[in-house]
Structure 1
């Protein structure tokens, strides 16, 4: 990973209150007990993939780095905590000086992951690490869920264009994060200008049905749009009669018309009819864009249709039925002091049921078969076997509190395409199944 950052982070507010109260009360108790400075290792991971999913997608790492960098308590926040009696005076004084000074390692953004993968490893004092739990999980759980849905849709699209257009279906800030995650997962453009501004994602958009209804005739609307945006624009053709609209669109824009968009009806049938009509009218280069509550299954069902691009909204920004990845952030090792020479001791939750974890500071590598295809996610706490030394997955992200691994969003997008192509072919199946490769602990 390189150190280039193309995102706009100017004016990013503090992220310190994007947290749960018990993070702060744990710090207060640990300060009083004299254990707050104990050297600690936390890891973010998921015990299982969302039901039926075969792989996960790491997204949000860049946003996590922003959040860590901007995690500090200003005077107004400290006043709020004091007035609400959240923590005591000594803890407020400690928070006033807080800046993360530890180290963070993680899977590079765009990489795939599996149950148990140590997606993020945070090292430092207990107090400084535990404060980051909620904001880290908030970002990774949301962004990785959206990226996984986007990846499935991208695989189903088979190289056809994908437009993210879910801004009106979610919280305004979630919409920006969703567009970013979708781009990593394989989408090409977004309709959300805030996402385009902040993350340099290509933006697109032309008109809605309201624009057609504004004008006295459909022809007047098409003429106004073409006069303003040029013949290469995309005209919406399903406000009234689709066949008549297509005929009018070509008459107005000529055979150089860029595209038509269909937003309702039997998309498979309508797309075939529109393609035939466009070709008969000589508009053989005019593309067809379809929208209307698409998900990966609907996209796959349109594989045989003459469709050039898909616009996806609701199903994408809600994770296509899986809006979270159920990631957790657990203490896996700690020392008895802040002394760097003090050995780390593995710790792990051992309660009844499925909420157990594996202790120890971990590394992760992906073992490949003789054809270069992934066959196992290997996780260990001891020495890395020689044959896996060049297959390790964790990259250094933060050293001594300083972010050292920023990169352009396109790098994460390209990494995901490469990682996905390195999985067994069954990873692309939309049917429910187990993780496409097993997780092995050594």
Structure 2
């Protein structure tokens, strides 16, 4: 969901300058040469997954749709471009009326992907499609990286809830996007109120070590928090001595204390000790929440610990070591003239090494076995084989410039869980390995 779903007002700034200068200078040169109106097809894909990852997760599609819709050049932006002498007057006049009027197809948000998957296909004139390159890649690379990390952490956590709490570890706007992507990838809540406001994600948070240190005693701090938030609150118990803090917490809040949080030390050992102590004190329903620089491997190592929930920050918002997905935006087909009905012909970069690309407007489908488990990512041009016709992955997102695929964030979250469940079981292994599905080209 977003604030439109909640009935809340949100300022919508232009996204037109979320771009690299060469997108605009290419536009100017194409306008001068008479090629700007040639019908063109660009595709977003990645040549490889981050090292050791078994699958990728599409994150940020909804934000891309917002960005495309708000890609406008108002007088302030045009004045900036004019003042810097970045573009000539004919190009500035062209931009003044710019609206993307083409079509965009893509993997729906939350879907999994593999090397070569055409995650997004942008069709229109060269002029209008080339302008969207940087903003689309910026969103998809960031959000998909966070969503993939979140997915791996969700697998490691099993049924235990995950709290996103990385706002202080990244850019303030990036933190909101990361919260959204983490929710798509399987997290349950966020500490970031801007993300809660913008996207309707459930928010959580109680107190930090500073609150304990503010008071004369730990008991005073716990009493103040319980008086304010009730006995169902979560008390932070590792500022000083954990055992003493747990005892004090139960004395102050009673056996109905909601939870205790542990933020340092040997989490596995401490969690067992705290669980035993809580049970002995009669607080058998009090939950244990752990934080402290967790990643998917640390979460997996705590699977046997009496932990009820995890809070994850730094490793999540930085993609758990892979903060980008290396997605690219390449021209794969274009017309030979500006005539509206001119046929498209494949084009591709043929440089040496790993940076070549495959030309042609592509479709993608996922082959399944008789049990509904995915066996291959199939990509081709031309006609889709009959046996794959109902398993195509790209869906319409924008039609003739109009967004046609808005959906609640919960739909993307549910889609991801379903898509991940259809992968081979080895997809959920945290050990390093190749992509769990091979990419076949037809």
On whether the aligned pair clears a TM of 0.5, the verdict is yes
> TM-score band, normalised by the shorter chain?
over 0.9
Q: Tell me how far apart the structure 1 counterparts of residues 91 and 339 of structure 2 sit (CA, whole Å).
A: 22
Q: Tell me how far apart the structure 2 counterparts of residues 393 and 132 of structure 1 sit (CA, whole Å).
A: 22
In structure 2, the residue matched to 1:295 is 295
After superposition, the C-alpha distances for 1:302-324 in whole angstroms (9 at most, x for unaligned) are 01100000000000010000000
Q: Secondary structure at the match of 2:354?
A: coil
Native 8 Å contact 2:62 2:406 kept in 1: yes
| Residue ranges of structure 2 left out of the alignment (5+ in a row) | none
1:44 aligns with 2:44: yes
| Residue ranges of structure 1 left out of the alignment (5+ in a row) | none
Q: Shift in Å at residue 9 of structure 1?
A: 7.0
After superposition, the C-alpha distances for 1:217-272 in whole angstroms (9 at most, x for unaligned) are 11111111011101110000001110011011111111110000000010000000
In structure 1, the residue matched to 2:344 is 344
In structure 2, the residue matched to 1:386 is 386
Q: Tell me how far apart the structure 2 counterparts of residues 206 and 138 of structure 1 sit (CA, whole Å).
A: 33
In structure 1, the residue matched to 2:201 is 201
Q: Tell me how far apart the structure 1 counterparts of residues 420 and 6 of structure 2 sit (CA, whole Å).
A: 24
Q: Secondary structure at the match of 1:134?
A: helix
After superposition, the C-alpha distances for 1:143-164 in whole angstroms (9 at most, x for unaligned) are 0000000000000001111000
Q: Secondary structure at the match of 1:378?
A: strand
In structure 1, the residue matched to 2:310 is 310
Q: Secondary structure at the match of 2:51?
A: coil
Query: Residues 349 and 6 from structure 1, CA distance in 2 versus in 1: closer, same or farther, beyond 3 angstroms?
Result: farther
Native 8 Å contact 1:7 1:199 kept in 2: no
In structure 1, the residue matched to 2:432 is 432
After superposition, the C-alpha distances for 1:132-180 in whole angstroms (9 at most, x for unaligned) are 0000000000000000000000000011110000000000000000000
1:184-195 aligned at under 5 Å gives the runs: 184-195=184-195
In structure 2, the residue matched to 1:395 is 395
In structure 2, the residue matched to 1:91 is 91
TM-score (norm 1): 0.98
Q: Secondary structure at the match of 2:353?
A: coil
Native 8 Å contact 2:114 2:439 kept in 1: yes
Native 8 Å contact 1:9 1:198 kept in 2: no
Q: Secondary structure at the match of 2:355?
A: coil
In structure 1, the residue matched to 2:28 is 28
Q: Secondary structure at the match of 1:310?
A: strand
1:264 aligns with 2:269: no
Q: Tell me how far apart the structure 2 counterparts of residues 261 and 218 of structure 1 sit (CA, whole Å).
A: 14
Native 8 Å contact 2:36 2:126 kept in 1: yes
In structure 1, the residue matched to 2:55 is 55
Native 8 Å contact 1:7 1:408 kept in 2: no
Q: Secondary structure at the match of 1:354?
A: helix
1:140 aligns with 2:136: no
In structure 1, the residue matched to 2:320 is 320
Query: Residues 7 and 432 from structure 1, CA distance in 2 versus in 1: closer, same or farther, beyond 3 angstroms?
Result: farther
Q: Secondary structure at the match of 1:289?
A: strand
In structure 1, the residue matched to 2:375 is 375
Q: Shift in Å at residue 274 of structure 1?
A: 0.2
In structure 1, the residue matched to 2:153 is 153
In structure 1, the residue matched to 2:254 is 254
Q: Tell me how far apart the structure 2 counterparts of residues 340 and 373 of structure 1 sit (CA, whole Å).
A: 42
Q: Tell me how far apart the structure 2 counterparts of residues 253 and 46 of structure 1 sit (CA, whole Å).
A: 52
Q: Tell me how far apart the structure 2 counterparts of residues 8 and 25 of structure 1 sit (CA, whole Å).
A: 38
Aligned-pair RMSD on alpha carbons? 1.2
Q: Tell me how far apart the structure 2 counterparts of residues 285 and 5 of structure 1 sit (CA, whole Å).
A: 35
Query: Residues 354 and 413 from structure 1, CA distance in 2 versus in 1: closer, same or farther, beyond 3 angstroms?
Result: same
In structure 1, the residue matched to 2:115 is 115
Q: Secondary structure at the match of 2:184?
A: helix
Native 8 Å contact 1:114 1:435 kept in 2: yes
In structure 2, the residue matched to 1:418 is 418
Q: Tell me how far apart the structure 2 counterparts of residues 7 and 365 of structure 1 sit (CA, whole Å).
A: 37
1:69 aligns with 2:86: no
In structure 2, the residue matched to 1:335 is 335
Native 8 Å contact 2:35 2:338 kept in 1: no
Q: Shift in Å at residue 382 of structure 1?
A: 1.2
Kindly tell me the number of residue pairs found equivalent between the two proteins: 440
Q: Shift in Å at residue 337 of structure 1?
A: 2.7
Q: Tell me how far apart the structure 2 counterparts of residues 323 and 192 of structure 1 sit (CA, whole Å).
A: 19
Q: Tell me how far apart the structure 1 counterparts of residues 253 and 284 of structure 2 sit (CA, whole Å).
A: 13
Q: Shift in Å at residue 57 of structure 1?
A: 0.2
Query: Residues 285 and 305 from structure 1, CA distance in 2 versus in 1: closer, same or farther, beyond 3 angstroms?
Result: same
Q: Tell me how far apart the structure 2 counterparts of residues 340 and 36 of structure 1 sit (CA, whole Å).
A: 13
